[in-house]
Amino acid sequence: MSALNDRIRGPVCLMWVDPQEHPLEHRGIHYAFCSQQCRERFLANPGLYVSGAGYHAAAKQQGRRVERRRRWQLKRAPSDPKAEALHAALNTMMGVDGVHIAGPLVEVEYDLLQATAAQIERCIEREGLRLRASPWQRLCRGWVHYVEDTQVANMADSTGHSGHHH
């Protein structure tokens, strides 16, 4: 671990991190991230977190938050130990502000600039739990992913540039 004064601020969650943690070069600038989750968020839309020369400040640089509350239905209610493990895992995700588990329902409050529904779903699955998977529920989750991706892309564009190169 490096000394505190050798640390840099991660652009997604703004935590101070070791420059070698989850490193990434973007437009010739070195970035580091507290977690793979924050690195993924940056890679998906760097324009949300950093601005280029001559552009308006990026959404995260403006201090913006995009608060979301979503509910997922599990295939079956988890045992108490599984529910506790899921609660702990979700609470360790950057941008997650609240978790409520009641039977098979999981409700999460999060900042879309730091976490996405898709990342939360992967966390649920990593804990060995399965989401209900009727065609309707899969369609609804796909729609949420699309809406979140579109909203994030629009915010990146509104800062003057998108992180994507065509």
What domains does the chain contain, in order, with CATH numbers? 4-62 (no CATH), 67-156 (3.30.70.100)
Q: State pLDDT tens for residues 43-96.
A: 887 877 876 554 555 656 566 788 999 999 999 999 999 999 999 999 999 999
Q: pLDDT-based confidence at 123, cuts 50/70/90?
A: very high
Q: State pLDDT tens for residues 15-37.
A: 899 999 999 988 888 899 988 88
User: What pLDDT is stored for residue 2 in this prediction?
Assistant: 46
User: What pLDDT is stored for residue 127 in this prediction?
Assistant: 97
Q: Which residues of 73-108 are buried (b: 16+ CB within 10 A; e: fewer)?
A: ebeeebeeeebeebbebbeebbbbeebebeeeebeb
**pTM above 0.75?**
no
Give me the residue label for tokens 């992180």.
163
Look at 78 and 11; give whichever has higher pLDDT: 78
